[in-house]
Structure 1
Amino acid sequence: MKFNKEGLIVGFALFALFFGAGNLILPPFLGFLAGSQWYLVALGFVISAVGLPLMGIFAHARLQGSMFSFAEKISPIFSLIFCMFIYIISVALPGPRTAAVTHEIAIAPFFDISPLTTSIIYFLLVFVFVIKRSTVINNIGKFLTPAILMLLLAIIFSGFFTEYKPMATNLTELPILLGFFEGYQTFDAIASLVVGGVIIISVKLKGYDSPVEIHQLITTAAILSGLGLFLVYGGLIFNGAMVNSEFPQDVTRTELLSGISLLNLGSFAQICLAILVALACFTTAVGIVTGTADFMTERIKKPHVYSITVFLACFLGIVIGALSVNAIIEIALPVLLLVYPLTIVLILLNVMPADFRTRSVMMVTVIATALFSLPDALKYVVSEDLFSNIQLYIPLSEYGLGWVIPATLAFFGTYFYEQRFETLKSST
């Protein structure tokens, strides 16, 4: 692994593309709930919000295509449907959520304007930033990420020199699982499929055409961004734990983040936090819109597809971004419980050696994952009692992990069956 200027710029850009609304408001709240067990909740959060996204980027570095490459071996039709579903979710939920968080934390405390007005201005700026494709990654890596990191470090490290009331006991059970599932809400495993494609195209636009060089550059960038995310998440979670005696138990995520900033930075808190939130959310929205437009351009291969997709994604962002943060999070939950297991499985399969990535192994594992993640998702939109009864017969389902054992059994069962079949075939 070789660190150079390009690796640093792309790594900074990747960090900023990952670090958005959920990444900022979720970790402090986890620390607040976990109290003295903050390190356990941090472990769960890092697994799903750092480990899985990193593996997604590593898989992109190997495949060097688009998100379509992740499931193409199973079936081109399935891969296309999966990709379209992911991109629709991305522009309909995490993208607009960045505008909602920006309004609640960065705009509403200073200006008496409606969420819709904020959403319109916000996505107009996203449109202007994204429409010139060749400059997106350089602008993020060189200018926006350093500003985000400086503001984050100011909030985190000032907390180590602030006196608080004694830390209260934890307010939650199973902190590791709480952290793991809260990591779902960052959308970063899904984001790794989206922004990984953005990084691949951007690196090629820089003139890199050797698969070895591309792999090395993207791997370096992924490790740099992962290290940055790990340190920032740990700091934010610890800050949330330190103040869990300072705020009422019913404090919201955004109220807690604002409160921590005020305790740590005093009179400058609101201004620093407003700038940080706006920048962090903006870079994520840029990544989502760019990734969606790149994919549509690759699939349709017609003039103006990129600009039309950017316009439509920004328009959808304006409409949904006018909702509250909590409303968007509630809408997202059942969707995430269905899509996230499939995303995790496809990421894990694509970082494995080629022997484990046969068409049959991937197909059977994905089908098992989809079937056994359905009860977790549908109980939020249909009859909770009906699916709760079904979940009684599925191991780990009460933790939202009903798909894990079936997917594992499907993977190993299919793999060993194929190995046995090949052995018998060669012996005859």
Structure 2
Amino acid sequence: MTHTINDDTTQRSGTAVLIATSLTLFSMFFGAGNLIFPPIMGASAGSNFTPAIIGFLIAGVALPVISIITIALSGTDMRDLVSRAGTYFGLVFSVLVYLSIGAFYALPRTGAVSFSTAVAPVIGTQSTVASIIFNLIFFAIAFYLCWNPTNIIDSLGKVLTPILLGLLVLLVFLCLASLPASHDAPTGEYVHNPLAAGLLEGYMTMDSIAALAFGIIVVTSLGHTGGGIGAKVVRRTSTAAVIAGALLGVVYVGLGLIGHVIPNAQSYTDGASLLADAARSTMGWPGQIVFGLIVLTACMTTAVGLIAATSEFFNRLLPSISYRAWMILFTLISFVLASTGLSSVLAIAVPIITFLYPIAITVVFMTIVSHPFRLATPAMWTFRLGTWTAAAWSGATTLAQVGVATDRINSLLMWSPLQANQLGWILPTVIAALIGACVDVALLKRSAA
């Protein structure tokens, strides 16, 4: 009897940890950008909302979930995963990813967006002094919450994320219940290619890149909390990723519908002002407070996840510098950048992120596709040629976008389908991976002989 009770207790504890981990993962993904992209997409898509939201969900939900599962399958962090394309390639790529989603872009953005969107409208000032005071408090709280990485699940999954979800449900329900249905015509790319336009909007959430960084935290947390090792951790991590993805999908659809139904939706230029007006029109002045709390909570949960993930990575990279020392460094950098503004940082960070995204997606799918054959062949050339081609194509595209030999590069790259939509790297990457697969098969036959 005692044994049965202990088993039941262990099972309930494991289920509670799994749910908390799923909520933690959701909160790490769901930042300010994820909050404001869907409503503006819903407004722009108009009557083509359904194909647009499907495209958004593919890029904004399916790809991040697959990325988390990839990390679980590999059982390693991003550097080890990408190093199949070469040691230095894996090192440079990983460092660029963690810096771009960490202290030099996404992390300070959480503080800056929180202040400008949630706090400044309430206090009536955008002054530098007010920004410094707010960001000092904001990053001090984030620093405290991730001081001990083993407690992140408790900090996020059991406290902040339920608050965030509750506020989001309240906002979506009141807006859909009280706002009249809109029947606007689609605009821009949503007129002829709503699926592709929605795909690109979700593509720019950066969540597939972030998933490669967050994945190792989830795997480690489940391993440290009784999740087991090996196949059991893969299964539980995959389950947590699917649950988090389902929550993201429901929230994205709800936020997209707000942009779809709000009057004069296409007069808005950004999702933040659209949601703020939706909150005020349905709840009055308290709506501004509710919207502000949503932004603050979303940014805080993302900030905690980014500080923890970045610090853990660099601690693995340079063990002589402790996790907490990296935390202090990245928190201070983020505080300074968030307080003084992000315009100069954005000019550098956005091209780097544009360059990294195709490589990240290629790494994920090369890992997934080659995993079933891992016992027969490491599929080294499949992985290398595919990844190298994605990097070269993405690098050329990025150079053209920043004004380096734009006409010459575009004339060389436009043969690939979807190049105009920044997806031209897909076909050459697939071709290169297939060539690599032929090389791997030939090497396998030679070794067998």
TM-score range, shorter chain: over 0.9
1:237 to 256, 272, 277: 256
Offset at 1:298?
1.8
| Cα shift readout 1:360-403 (whole Å, capped 9, x = no counterpart) | 11111011111111232122323444433333344321111121
Amino acid at match of 1:83: S
Structure 1 residues 261-320: Cα deviation after superposition (integer angstroms, max 9, x where no partner): 222333321111111111111111111110111112222223x52111111111221233
1:60 paired residue among 64, 71, 76: 71
Distance 1:299 1:172 in 2: 44
Q: 1:390 & 1:220 partners in 2: Cα distance?
A: 43
Q: Is the 8 A contact 2:311 2:326 kept in 1?
A: yes
After superposition, give the CA deviation of every residue in 1:99-121 in whole Å (9 maximum; x if it has no partner).
12211221101223533433332
TM-score (norm 1): 0.92
Asked whether the equivalents of residues 47 and 180 of structure 1 are also in contact (C-alpha less than 8 Å), the reply is: yes
Structure 1 equivalent of residue 8 of structure 2: none
- Per-residue deviation, 1:69: 2.6
- The answer for the alignment partner of 1:184 in structure 2 is 203
Number of residue pairs matched by the alignment: 425
Q: Which amino acid aligns with 2:257?
A: F
How far does residue 248 in structure 1 lie from its aligned partner after superposition?
Answer: 5.4
Is the counterpart of residue 358 in structure 1 residue 379 in structure 2?
yes
What CA distance in whole angstroms lies between the structure 1 residues aligned with 2:344 and 2:362?
A: 28
Q: 2:91 aligns with which of 75, 80, 84?
A: 80
Structure 1, 414-423 or 80-89: larger mean CA deviation: 414-423
* Correspondence for 2:176: 160
* Deviates most, 337-346 or 393-402: 393-402
Q: In 2 relative to 1, CA 292–262 (structure 1 residues): closer, same or farther, beyond 3 Å?
A: same
Deviations 1:185-218 (A, max 9, x none): 3221011011111112222332444223212221
Q: Distance in 2 between matches of 1:157 and 1:196?
A: 31
Q: Distance in 1 between matches of 2:325 and 2:54?
A: 41
Tell whether the 8 Å contact from 1:42 to 1:237 is kept in structure 2 after alignment.
yes
Equivalent-residue separation in structure 1 for 2:114 and 2:425 (angstroms): 35
Letter in 2 for 1:233: Y
Q: 2:58 aligns with which of 38, 42, 47?
A: 47
Q: Given residue 309 of structure 1, which amino acid in structure 2 is its aligned partner?
A: W
Among the aligned pairs, what percent are the same residue? 26
CA spacing shift, 1:350–1:248, aligned 2, 3 Å: closer
SS in 2 for 1:55: helix
Alpha-carbon distance in 2 for matches of 1:153, 1:307:
35
| Kept after mapping to 1: 8 A contact 2:135/2:338 | yes
Give per-residue Cα distances to partners, 1:382-427, cap 9 Å, x unaligned. 344443333334432111112110100011122134324544665x
Contact 1:15 1:228 in 2 (8 A): yes
Equivalent position to 1:255, from 250, 269, 273: 273
Residue 359 of structure 2 corresponds to which residue in structure 1?
342
| Aligned equivalent of 1:389 | 411
Q: Is the 8 A contact 2:85 2:388 kept in 1?
A: no
Q: Which runs of 5+ in 1 are unaligned?
A: none
Distance 1:387 1:249, change over 3 A: farther
Match of 1:296 among 314, 331, 351: 314
Structure 1: how far apart are the matches of 2:401 and 2:185? 30
1:223 is the counterpart of 2:242? yes
Instruction: Give yes or no for contact 1:94–1:187 (8 Å, CA) kept in 2.
Output: no
1:329 & 1:300 partners in 2: Cα distance?
A: 27
**1:199 aligned onto 2:222:** no
Cα distance in 1 for partners of 2:300, 2:24 equals 12
Amino acid at match of 2:292: A
Once residues 239 and 414 of structure 2 are traced to their aligned partners in structure 1, the CA distance between those partners, rounded to angstroms, is 44
TM-score (norm 2): 0.88
The equivalent position to 1:272 in structure 2, one of 273, 290, 298, is 290
Q: Determine if contact 2:93/2:356 at 8 Å carries over to the other structure.
A: no
252-261 or 145-154: which moved more? 252-261
Aligned to 2:388: 367
1:237 Cα deviation after fit? 0.8
Q: Which moved more, 1:118-127 or 1:396-405?
A: 118-127
- Looking at structure 2, the residues matched to 329 and 179 of structure 1 have their Cα atoms a distance apart, in angstroms, of 23
Distance across 1 between alignment mates of 2:240 and 2:227: 15
Cα distance, 1:24 vs structure 2: 0.3
In structure 1, what residue type is equivalent to 2:389? A
Q: Match of 2:135, as an amino acid?
A: S
Cα distance in 2 between the residues matched to 1:328 and 1:149: 31
Q: Aligned pair 1:148/2:164, yes or no? A: yes
Question: What runs of 5+ residues in structure 2 fail to find an aligned partner?
Answer: 1-11
Shift in CA distance, 45/333, structure 1 to aligned 2, threshold 3 Å = farther
Moved more, 350-359 or 338-347: 350-359
Query: How much does 1:90 deviate?
Result: 1.2
CA contact (8 A) 2:29 2:302 kept: yes
From 388, 393, 406, the counterpart of 2:428: 406
Any idea what the Cα deviations from partners look like across 1:325-361, whole Å, max 9, x if unmatched?
7886665432222100000011112222342751111
Q: Which residue of 2 aligns with 1:172?
A: 188
The more displaced of 136-145 and 248-257 is 248-257
The amino acid that maps onto 2:219 is I
Partner-residue secondary structure (3-state), 1:401: coil
Does structure 1 retain, via aligned residues, the 8 Å contact 2:179–2:261?
no
Deviation at 1:323, TM superposition (A): 6.0
Pick one of 5, 13, 16 that aligns with 2:27. 16
Tell me what 2:333 maps to.
316
| Cα pair distance change 1:328/1:172, threshold 3 Å | farther
Distance 1:23 1:344, change over 3 A: same
- Name the amino acid aligned to 2:425: W
- Written as runs of structure 1 = structure 2, the 5 A alignment for 1:118-157 is 118-157=134-173
8 Å Cα contact 1:140/1:283 also seen in 2? yes
2:303 corresponds to which letter in structure 1?
A
Are the aligned partners of 1:105 and 1:277 in contact in 2 as well (CA < 8 Å)? Answer: yes
